[in-house]
Chain A
Amino acid sequence: MNAEIERQPEEEIKPPVASVGVIGWIRANLFSSWFNSILTLITLYVLWKTVPPFFRWAVIDSNWFSTAEVCRGSEGACWSIIPANIRFILFGFFPYESQWRPLVAMILLVALLFYSRDRKHWKKSLAYAWVIGLVVMGLLMKGGILGLASVETTQWGGLPLTLMLSVFGLTAAYPLGVILALGRQSKMPAVKTLCIIYIEMIRGVPLITLLFMSSVVFPLFLPEGMTVNVILRAQAAIIMFTAAYIAEVVRGGLQGMSKGQYEAAESMGLNYYQTMRLVILPQALKIVIPPTVSQLISALKDTSLVVIIALYDLLKTTQSVLSDPAWMAFSSEAYIFVALIYFLCCYFMSSYSRRLEKELDTGL
């Protein structure tokens, strides 16, 4: 200890150049051993082989606002397919003149989501803001009042449909999932069995079979002459599907509660309903917020399966554009564009979920 105190500042020896700064960082992180060096070289080679050609195709040689004919003669990417068809890709069959309405609705949704990111804003007023926001969005989409022309749900398509199927799917599935999770934990054998059968059965089959069921079999279940709109049937299938997964997420939260919480609640004389509502659920649901966000991401990605039953969601409108003779050759560009939209939505949510996980972790 003493030796250190006595050391004069001018005697301080700087570390060798090779171990600090850029060179040091490169040595420590890229070439720390022969194996690492080989890995680095291989990775660099692969990147060098793939990135520049891709960049050349996607940026340097690309066309942005040309016609399809110009694109055909060109070597690069034809991004022109996007601006030429953007409105159909995004909004589907929504009446052309009224497409500002879904646009405003989506901006509203994104704004609300952004505002809700911060946990400081989680107050009662935010809940009201969401309710009002959702109603406004619904009115904008549906129309029929305030001079807005009425638009049938069958005409909804593209991104609003994708968002509606996933966001509404999760919102509606949530209460159902909580009930199922509570039912699975219940001491009543009949209720417990029913819930387990439901959850395990839904989780055991692919979503696509449920969608087939909703589109081909469900109409046969209804009394003669009664029909339910195909979008709603798909929505119901997605809700049923998501609910089973939410139930398992919530069950994880319920199992994470210590027994003391139940006992404390009981010793205060609370009945089952009160225990759950006032003590258990508020804590359990808080734990499961991050996995719930992951579930929302899954729901968003899963909605793309409605393509297979011919609902015009984001992916299907894109494919519809691709069946146009003029644009048929540019599927990569169109798919990359759609992939980018999905990626941005999912990335935003997953990084948020990770941040939240950290915040909640320290909070508890």
Chain B
Amino acid sequence: MKGRMQPKQNEAPTRAPTTTVPFYNDPKKRAILFQIATLLMVGLLAFFLISNTLANLEKQSIATGIGFLQKESAFEIGESPIPYSAADTYGRALVVGFLNTLIVSFIGIVITIILGTLIGIARLSSNWLVSRSAAAYIEVLQDIPVLLQLFFWYAFFYNVLPSPRQALNPFMGVFLSNRGLVFAIPEAHPVHKYLVLALAIAGVAIYLMRRWARLRQARTGQPFPVLRVSVALTIGLPLLIWIFGGAPTAMNVPVLKGFNFVGGTNISPEFTALLLGLILYTAAYVAEVVRAGIQSVSKGQTEAAMSLGLRSSLVLNLVVLPQALRVIIPPLTSQMLNLTKNSSLAVAIGYPDFVSVAGTTINQTGQAIEGVALMMIVYLTLSLLTSAFMNWYNKKTALVER
């Protein structure tokens, strides 16, 4: 209805330009008036809400401001990528929550894309059984609320797996129990730092090599075995450093001590259940996106490529996928954002993500407004960053019209 009063520019020419029009009939002035009115209304509403809030806070003597971030949190957090204890501040607790959200979203997104693509391709398989199974998977998992799925997976995890003392031990140094998956990690050693460095160097080298190879192929038509050299670089360079560094083999093996495993690294059931629930749910949507993307490439494209004598892997790589990706990327972005946002449901199954930690903070400090505002800002930032990245990628792969 806002639009109702919006004028149409081309009403004006029907009138003689010389006649003076009352301001309420002049489209331009009317538009300005209307906008002022809208802004005024929004402003008044905001003023009303803010003044009420301030009065309420005053009356109930609820503390305000972000001073609480410096106070001691006094609660423990189950898992944290950085050192944290109850003696740390609320600020640090929130950072822990934020990092946990990032970790679960990032890993979730990577695996979801892989799994979703596989299911999407399976959906299009000529194998009746495979394509039907994929269709059933997509239909069932899309139609059940993700929260319900999370509850289900979490219950499944602690009901099926044994307690730490009877932990399954499939390989040496790997233990699977209802406390999660514990596995051995290499003992800390100065060489590890250089290993990371070597990996980074290999990455840069591969990037440069790919560019060079592409230019060379464009110039001379000669292909270069990019993939094989890349694999050799990523494995070989760190390996070389490791051997030169004295080849440390000491492992930090988990040992059952007291109630739990000590040492090694632990992946908790909460994290696994959350990850599994998010991946399985979102992969169903991604599969649909991928299927639609592949189907959007007209059959003529495939046939044309084949008639050029390209191998079927090249047809897929050079003709179908680049075109399909353009259709896939935008809906894929929104699915990735959905996954990130849905990770906030962690609160229901006890994974300490940002919403969960912020919720506890709200409870302890009573500062609901600041807490909820923080939650919104964090997710908004994540969403904007993701969509900015995807927009950039989208532009890169967009059709260049000539």
Bind each other: yes
Interface residues of A, Cβ cutoff 8 Å to B: 29-30, 32, 36, 39-40, 43-44, 47, 179, 182-183, 186-191, 194, 201, 203-209, 212-213, 216-217, 220-224, 266, 269, 271-273, 275-276, 297, 301-302, 304-305, 307-308, 315, 331-332, 335, 338-339, 342-343, 346-347, 350
> Which residues in A have their C-beta under 8 angstroms from that of B14?
269
Who on chain B is nearest to A35 by CB?
A: B127
Supply 12 A–B pairs (Cβ within 8 Å), ascending by A.
A32-B126, A205-B341, A206-B341, A217-B369, A220-B52, A220-B57, A266-B10, A271-B8, A304-B147, A305-B345, A332-B156, A339-B148
Scoring B residues 81 to 110 as 1 if CB is less than 8 Å from chain A, else 0, what string do you get? 000000000000000000000000000000
**Complex Cα spacing A342 to B147, Å:** 12
**Complex Cα spacing A44 to B128, Å:** 12
**Of A39, A220, A297, A305, the contact of B125 (CB 8 Å cutoff):** A39
Q: Do A346 and B143 touch across chains, with their CB atoms under 8 A apart?
A: yes
Q: Do A43 and B6 touch across chains, with their CB atoms under 8 A apart?
A: no
Minimal beta-carbon separation of B353 from chain A (angstroms): 11
Q: Do B7 and A272 touch across chains, with their CB atoms under 8 A apart?
A: yes
Who on chain A is nearest to B345 by CB?
A: A208
| Interface flag for B155 (CB, 8 Å) | yes
**Complex Cα spacing A12 to B294, Å:** 40
| Interface flag for B2 (CB, 8 Å) | yes
**Of A30, A220, A342, the contact of B56 (CB 8 Å cutoff):** A220
**Complex Cα spacing A39 to B118, Å:** 13
Minimal beta-carbon separation of B145 from chain A (angstroms): 4
Q: Do A332 and B152 touch across chains, with their CB atoms under 8 A apart?
A: yes
**Complex Cα spacing A36 to B127, Å:** 6
Q: Do A30 and B129 touch across chains, with their CB atoms under 8 A apart?
A: yes
Who on chain B is nearest to A319 by CB?
A: B151
**Of B39, B372, B379, the contact of A216 (CB 8 Å cutoff):** B372
Best-buried of B34, B151, B347 by chain A (most CB within 10 Å): B151
**Of A29, A186, A209, A347, the contact of B3 (CB 8 Å cutoff):** A186
Q: Do B130 and A209 touch across chains, with their CB atoms under 8 A apart?
A: no
Q: Do A276 and B3 touch across chains, with their CB atoms under 8 A apart?
A: yes
**Complex Cα spacing A36 to B126, Å:** 8
Q: Do B129 and A221 touch across chains, with their CB atoms under 8 A apart?
A: no
Minimal beta-carbon separation of B66 from chain A (angstroms): 16
Q: Do A209 and B355 touch across chains, with their CB atoms under 8 A apart?
A: yes
Q: Do A224 and B55 touch across chains, with their CB atoms under 8 A apart?
A: yes
Who on chain A is nearest to B134 by CB?
A: A43
> Which residues in A have their C-beta under 8 angstroms from that of B55?
223-224
> Which residues in A have their C-beta under 8 angstroms from that of B156?
332
Best-buried of A187, A208, A271 by chain B (most CB within 10 Å): A208
Q: Do A342 and B375 touch across chains, with their CB atoms under 8 A apart?
A: no
Known contacts A190-B39, A216-B368, A217-B372; A224 and B2 CB within 8 A of each other: no
> Which residues in A have their C-beta under 8 angstroms from that of B4?
272-273
Minimal beta-carbon separation of A238 from chain B (angstroms): 14
Q: Do A315 and B376 touch across chains, with their CB atoms under 8 A apart?
A: no
Minimal beta-carbon separation of B58 from chain A (angstroms): 10
**Complex Cα spacing A201 to B337, Å:** 13
| Interface flag for B308 (CB, 8 Å) | no
**Of B3, B35, B142, the contact of A350 (CB 8 Å cutoff):** B142
Who on chain B is nearest to A219 by CB?
A: B56
Q: Do B383 and A29 touch across chains, with their CB atoms under 8 A apart?
A: no
Those 4 A-B pairs whose CB atoms lie nearest each other, nearest first: A346-B143, A29-B128, A204-B383, A206-B341
Q: Which residues from 318 to 361 on chain B have a C-beta closer than 8 Å to any C-beta of chain A?
A: 337, 341-342, 344-345, 347-348, 355, 359
**Complex Cα spacing A223 to B53, Å:** 8
Minimal beta-carbon separation of B292 from chain A (angstroms): 12
| Interface flag for B362 (CB, 8 Å) | yes
| Interface flag for B240 (CB, 8 Å) | no
Known contacts A186-B6, A338-B148; A208 and B355 CB within 8 A of each other: yes
> Which residues in B have their C-beta under 8 angstroms from that of A40?
127, 129-130
Q: Do A224 and B59 touch across chains, with their CB atoms under 8 A apart?
A: yes
Who on chain A is nearest to B143 by CB?
A: A346
Interface residues of B, Cβ cutoff 8 Å to A: 1-8, 10-11, 14, 31, 34-36, 38-39, 42, 49, 52-53, 55-57, 59, 125-130, 133, 139-140, 142-148, 151-152, 155-156, 159, 337, 341-342, 344-345, 347-348, 355, 359, 362, 368-369, 372, 375-376, 379-380, 383-384
> Which residues in B have their C-beta under 8 angstroms from that of A335?
148, 151-152, 155
Known contacts A39-B125, A182-B2, A315-B145; A191 and B38 CB within 8 A of each other: yes
> Which residues in B have their C-beta under 8 angstroms from that of A206?
341-342, 344, 355, 379
Q: Do B126 and A205 touch across chains, with their CB atoms under 8 A apart?
A: no
> Which residues in B have their C-beta under 8 angstroms from that of A220?
52-53, 56-57, 368-369
Best-buried of A183, A190, A206 by chain B (most CB within 10 Å): A206
**Of A44, A187, A269, A301, the contact of B6 (CB 8 Å cutoff):** A187
Known contacts A204-B383, A212-B359, A216-B368; A331 and B147 CB within 8 A of each other: no
Who on chain A is nearest to B34 by CB?
A: A188
Minimal beta-carbon separation of A207 from chain B (angstroms): 8
**Complex Cα spacing A304 to B38, Å:** 35
**Of B53, B155, B375, the contact of A209 (CB 8 Å cutoff):** B375
Q: Do A347 and B52 touch across chains, with their CB atoms under 8 A apart?
A: no
Not counting A39-B130, A212-B355, a sample of 20 additional A-B residue pairs whose C-beta atoms are within 8 angstroms of each other reads A32-B126, A32-B127, A36-B130, A39-B125, A43-B130, A188-B6, A189-B35, A191-B35, A194-B38, A203-B383, A204-B383, A209-B379, A266-B8, A271-B8, A301-B143, A304-B145, A307-B348, A335-B148, A335-B151, A350-B143
Q: Do B147 and A209 touch across chains, with their CB atoms under 8 A apart?
A: no
Known contacts A186-B2, A305-B345; A315 and B372 CB within 8 A of each other: no
Minimal beta-carbon separation of A137 from chain B (angstroms): 23
Minimal beta-carbon separation of B4 from chain A (angstroms): 4
**Complex Cα spacing A129 to B344, Å:** 40
Q: Do B376 and A272 touch across chains, with their CB atoms under 8 A apart?
A: no
> Which residues in B have their C-beta under 8 angstroms from that of A201?
376, 380
**Complex Cα spacing A307 to B125, Å:** 39
> Which residues in A have their C-beta under 8 angstroms from that of B31?
187-188
**Complex Cα spacing A342 to B10, Å:** 51
Minimal beta-carbon separation of A188 from chain B (angstroms): 5
Who on chain A is nearest to B370 by CB?
A: A217
**Complex Cα spacing A102 to B139, Å:** 29
> Which residues in A have their C-beta under 8 angstroms from that of B5?
273
